Structure 1
Amino acid sequence: MQHLLTVCKDAVAKLCTLFGVAMLAFSPLFAGPPDSLLHFEVDYARFRINDNVAQLEIYISVPRSRLQFVAEGEDLLASFESQVIIAIADSDVVDHKWVEHTVAADSAEIKPTQILCTQANFQVPVNTYDVNVRVTDPRTKHFGVRSFQVNIAPFAKDRLVLSDLEIASRIARDTTVSRFYKNNHLVIPNPSRMYGANLPMLFTYAEIYNLSYPSDSSYSVAYRILDG
């Protein structure tokens, strides 16, 4: 396991709005859904913007082979549309859609173990939200829907605070600004949280807030991995 803890003295996070899709490979551990449905995985993490506002990051992954590829010049092209609706009671706070594309040289390149990842980031104040995520293949009209509730609580100012853990498939030093950029690192999420022969390394990303910096200070980080 590899992990990255980022010390955020000012607790200022950046809202990424650029497009980008990452492709992973893993050993599938689930049975396929009915043909009319588009299977996808979703996860989320919360990071501090200020005491009463968090950056809510929604992570989505789609099996590449479940998308319909069509000829586009000499290549094959597929795409999927993601929609995130964040609501309080019956009032929508966010309704955001975006489309990701993937290109293959030929059909032999498209394998069941390939996973496409994307994410969207939202700054939301303290409250409890209903989140609805819909992913659609615009060519076949197949889609999947996942719903869950997210609580954004105030961040304490008088003690150490840890953000959510983002479970990732890859973390690397990279200053290129993209959808997956965090504090000079590329952090590719793994919404399925599944690992195997093709994805053997578990990465985690987290941020620690309210650290002080006297010359004689030191901190230790302990973590455990439990077999669920």
Structure 2
Amino acid sequence: MNKVRHKPMSNSQRALLELSEKIFAGGLAPGSDHLESELAEKLNMSRTLVREAVLMLEGQGLLELRPRKGIRVVPLSPEDMEEVYDVLTELESLATDRAARAAYKEDDLKHLSEAIDDMDVAIANRDLDAWANADDRFHTELVRLGGNSRVETIVHMMSDQVRRARLTTLFTRPLPTKSNEDHRLVYDAIKNGDAKVARETHRDHRMHAKSIIIELLRRHRLRFL
């Protein structure tokens, strides 16, 4: 049996991954300024690779490249996050509607179901990092099942901003048990081919999540400026 060989990660991909992980982990604080040479030293990479990664992350709204001033980690703005959530809510709701109309068999939805099961286990164990990981998988799979590649591309471009906001507020918000219940209702509606219920349930779910995160960002805004 032939083993699947994974293509090794390029230096550019590694620079992008390591720089984004430093942002998400708080190693590069929101609002902080950095020189290209400083980041190159932190990552033990060439300035060329760092510049390529910075340009990619600037396109995702995580960094800002300012002439003669260096690189700034973009603070989490409640107003920006409102706009991001509004766009994602509509696109994901469309994907949910399309998934429900696609007449998928239960086996086609197994990754969606597994993500929900993992979220339930994570909540029972009060493991919020594991919950966030499973939640990411649920939303990624949901959009994929919608079958619209342009929606996938746009959602992917904005997902890092949502991930960053969620990680910032994850340990200050209520335990996300309602989120798990919503995901299960969405899954059931897709499995039963009920596009209206699937779309409306997911839209309400996203709007509820938006209200929680925006309120927390506004309450603690001075921390991130």
- Normalising by structure 2, we get a TM-score of 0.24
Whichever structure has more strand as a proportion of its residues is: 1
Which structure dedicates a bigger proportion of its chain to helix? 2
1 or 2 for the larger relative contact order (CA 8 Å, sep ≥6)? 1
TM-score by length of 1: 0.23
